[in-house]
Amino acid sequence: MPVEPRLLKLLVFGSGAAALAMETLWMRRLSLVGGSTGLATTATLSVYMGALGLGAWLGPRWLRGTVRTYGALESATAAWVLLGTPLVMFVAPSLPGPPIARVAILATLLLALPGVMHGATLPLLARACTDRAQVTALYAWNTAGAVAGTICWTFFILPATTVRVAEWTAALLALIIGVTARSTPDPQSEVSWSARTGPWSWQPMVIAFASGFIALAVEVSGARVTALLVGGSVYAFALVLAVFLSGIAAGSHFARNRTGSPVAPLVLLALTVLAFCSAWRVLPHGMALVWSIGGESLWLPGAALLLLCSLGPVAAASGATFAACLQQANGEAGHATGIVLASNTVGSVLGAGLAGLVGLPQLGVWGTAVSASVLASIVGFTLAPNHRWRLAAGGALLGVGLVPAWDPALYAVGAGLRVSEFADRSPEAIERFAHQGWDLLEYTDGVTTTVAVGRSTTTGNIWLSLNGKVDASTGRDMATQELSGILPVQVARNHHAAPEAVVIGLASGVTASRALATGATAVTVLEIEPAVVRASEAFSDANLDLLNDSRARVEVVDARAWLASQNRNYPIIISEPSNPWLTGVSNLFTREYWQLTRTRLADDGVFCQWIQLYALPPAAFQGLVRTFLSVYPNAWLFESIPGADALLIAAPSLPEGLALEPTLGPDGLIRLASMGPLVTDNHPWVEFSAPFWLHRTTGETNRALIQAAQRR
């Protein structure tokens, strides 16, 4: 007798939630050990989707049984959550190589086995279904569960608990699903259905491959655009993932009974990608409208709504294409499902990998997405079953010429991210802000982040933005950039006659140049994004032509991995990454990171840490200081820009005649850090809380805390 369909839907919904929770958490682990959210995202999508495809192909060939076998695979995946993560965290510190290679190896180690097991599940369950529409329905329910897992773990479980607890809960859910499935009897006989008779057709496989390739290339592009729109927080990628999965679930559900050619939804996919690219021109205006209507409370929900309207149709067309391919495939239930799923996921692997590592750096975010639409149109035109769909595919191909060109200026200045600063949020005001009063000198969609350099036409101020957020400039930021290099060297020369320095984060290069100018004999700069190195050339006057200084060496590496691989100590380490609310960068504001820097600090060495005061909850500011003191108890706080930036400098003592006198000493810092839990790799709570404070003016509040600690 067949298995109750409602039970199968419930099982695949739960396993989908657990699988996406695991994928999200594993992506965090890769970001932690690889130092880049962009690389971690690309590696996770590529390796995990590739393993899914391999599992879908091999599962029905190597494994017998249906529901009970599915339960065994789910239980094994739950066990891997508990074993795989510690294994990767053990291997990562001793793994050499550039960031891309390291993340790829670690992603394969962490994701390949569970991906293969997850990939085999749907083909196995297909054997318990009575027709292909039921299999497609299971696919839709599994994807809907993935949406629930993304939202639940990212927005609720992770912020409320710890990374390890979140992993345990995902493993527990997978175990419950596995045990339930293991206790469910298999059907008395497997159903061997086929929607078509005759020789096996290769067209469903090709179209499924193309659909997966295009969908994931567009998802990678959409994730970058979202980071430019609302910042690179943990919630930005979660929104993209939830919207995309929702669209796939809806598209596959509504197309589950469709028996026509899969070319039709593929052509629709090409058209929806063009519509999504067209929407990029107005998304910042949409964010301004959202803020005008609901302010801060509607900011993230409004972004989700904008993505649902623009990116959602792309995902829905992708889901419908998968459903149509499944209907067209010949063969036994498990094999037919496996071959379509494997083709789709292999395409997804190549789409994610090529888009993230080649497309974005070479074609840009707009060129990558538009190229995906062109590919869909060409495949649709080539495989169209009649003149009507060939004409539609040709129309989609010609439609590329109607898509508004990518406007880098609109995103380089972070127009969508800075809507709270505008008194006038009209479309005209947004356009003036984005296009008047400055020139764009450099714009690159890098592997890990989008890098832009602009120059004011009135003041001559040159600024550097990463994903739309200004991280360096020759204007007001100069005080912090210069003091970050000057003060540590002045302090270190009290104990080291010829100190060498390590600077984490290149940005404009001013900090490293000032360290050399103050007396450092050599500087090693660690920068993970190659595009930042190129962009720093625009600051050659301000950074004293750092890149051509023989005493300076720039390493394009992950800072934590580089520090862990060193076998020598340095008199000076200066850490000035971007903000701690950014996923990936947040890894450079935890106790484990500061403990790592201390192991690479020479006796009587000096460590300098930049810390922001703006857009940071007071509890987060105090928590970061408290965490810093747990590793470096003998430290001083310098206000490089009062109410905006501060420097924490740990050293044996301070000499006389510093360029800036400290505001707080060790005792004052203890008073300042009286509240706020420790920030650790396992409990990175600042990363989850700070994004909700991006539009709040906390600089003066945090400065008041400093002044109160000074008075006491």
Closest CA to 645 of 478, 417, 458: 478
Structural tokens at position 290: 């959202």
Tens digit of pLDDT for each residue in 422-449? 989 999 999 999 999 999 999 999 988 9
Tell me which DSSP letter residue 528 carries. S
Percent of the chain with pLDDT over 90: 62
- Rounded Cα gap, residues 597 and 607, in angstroms: 8
Which residues are CB-neighbours of 66 under 8 A, at least 6 positions away?
Answer: 3, 124, 125, 127, 128, 186, 187, 190
Better pLDDT: 352 or 440: 440
CB-based contact 59:338 (threshold 8 Å): yes
The CA-CA-CA angle for residues 151, 46, 360, to 5°, reads 90
CB-based contact 687:586 (threshold 8 Å): yes
Q: Strand, helix or coil at 475?
A: coil
197: pLDDT strictly greater than 50: no
The CA-CA-CA angle for residues 115, 117, 118, to 5°, reads 65
Backbone conformation region of residue 65, classed left if phi is above 0, alpha if psi is from -120 to 50, else beta: left
CB-based contact 32:157 (threshold 8 Å): no
194: pLDDT strictly greater than 60: no
pLDDT at 99: 67
Better pLDDT: 121 or 310: 310
Percent of the chain with pLDDT over 70: 95
Tens digit of pLDDT for each residue in 239-278? 998 999 999 999 998 888 777 789 999 999 999 999 999 9
102: pLDDT strictly greater than 90: no
Q: Strand, helix or coil at 453?
A: strand
Total-model pTM: 0.90
Over residues 319-328, mean pLDDT: 89
Least confident of 178-187, 197-206, 546-555: 197-206
Better pLDDT: 311 or 341: 311
Tell me how far CA of residue 154 lies from CA of 118, 256, 409, 616, in angstroms.
Answer: 21, 30, 31, 20
200: pLDDT strictly greater than 90: no
Placement of tokens 């420097």 in the chain: 647
Tens digit of pLDDT for each residue in 139-184? 889 899 999 999 999 999 999 999 999 999 999 999 999 999 988 8
Least confident of 269-278, 563-572, 630-639, 656-665: 563-572
pLDDT at 184: 83
Helix (H) or strand (E) holding 266: helix 263-279
Over residues 589-604, mean pLDDT: 95
Over residues 53-68, mean pLDDT: 80
pLDDT at 195: 43
Helix (H) or strand (E) holding 42: helix 37-62
199: pLDDT strictly greater than 50: no
Concatenated DSSP letters of 244-259: HHHHHHHHHHHTTT--
Tell me which DSSP letter residue 405 carries. P
Amino acid at 46: S
Please, what are the domains in the chain? Answer: 1-183 (1.20.1250), 201-412 (1.20.1250), 413-471 (2.30.140), 477-711 (3.40.50.150)
pLDDT at 271: 96
Work out the number of other CB atoms within 10 angstroms of the CB of residue 83: 11
Tell me how far CA of residue 507 lies from CA of 238, 533, 546, in angstroms.
Answer: 27, 8, 12
Which residues are CB-neighbours of 708 under 8 A, at least 6 positions away?
Answer: none
1: pLDDT strictly greater than 60: no
Over residues 444-466, mean pLDDT: 94
43: pLDDT strictly greater than 80: no
SS (H, E, C) 610-650: EEECCCCCHHHHHHHHHHHHHHCCCEEEEEEECCCEEEEEE
pLDDT at 7: 85
Over residues 659-677, mean pLDDT: 92
Least confident of 94-98, 204-208, 549-553, 563-567: 94-98
Tens digit of pLDDT for each residue in 289-300? 999 999 999 999
pLDDT at 622: 96
Task: Determine whether 711 is exposed, middle or buried from the number of CB atoms within 10 Å of its CB (0-12, 13-18, 19+).
Answer: exposed
Q: Strand, helix or coil at 183?
A: coil
Tell me how far CA of residue 191 lies from CA of 132, 332, 655, in angstroms.
Answer: 11, 8, 82
Sheet with 522-526: strands ordered across = 552-555, 522-526, 500-504, 570-575, 601-612, 645-650, 635-641
Closest CA to 584 of 308, 236, 322: 236
Report the mean per-residue pLDDT for the chain: 89
Tell me how far CA of residue 54 lies from CA of 11, 24, 80, 85, 473, in angstroms.
Answer: 22, 20, 18, 22, 48
pLDDT at 36: 56
Task: Determine whether 196 is exposed, middle or buried from the number of CB atoms within 10 Å of its CB (0-12, 13-18, 19+).
Answer: middle
Question: How are beta strands 570-575 and 500-504 bridged, if at all?
Answer: parallel
- Rounded Cα gap, residues 670 and 668, in angstroms: 5
375: pLDDT strictly greater than 70: yes
284: pLDDT strictly greater than 50: yes
Confidence of residue 57 (pLDDT cuts 50, 70, 90): confident
pLDDT at 631: 97
Rg (CA), the chain: 27
Partners of 637 in the β-ladder: 648, 664
CB-based contact 32:167 (threshold 8 Å): no
- Rounded Cα gap, residues 174 and 461, in angstroms: 54
Confidence of residue 37 (pLDDT cuts 50, 70, 90): low
Helix (H) or strand (E) holding 601: strand 601-612
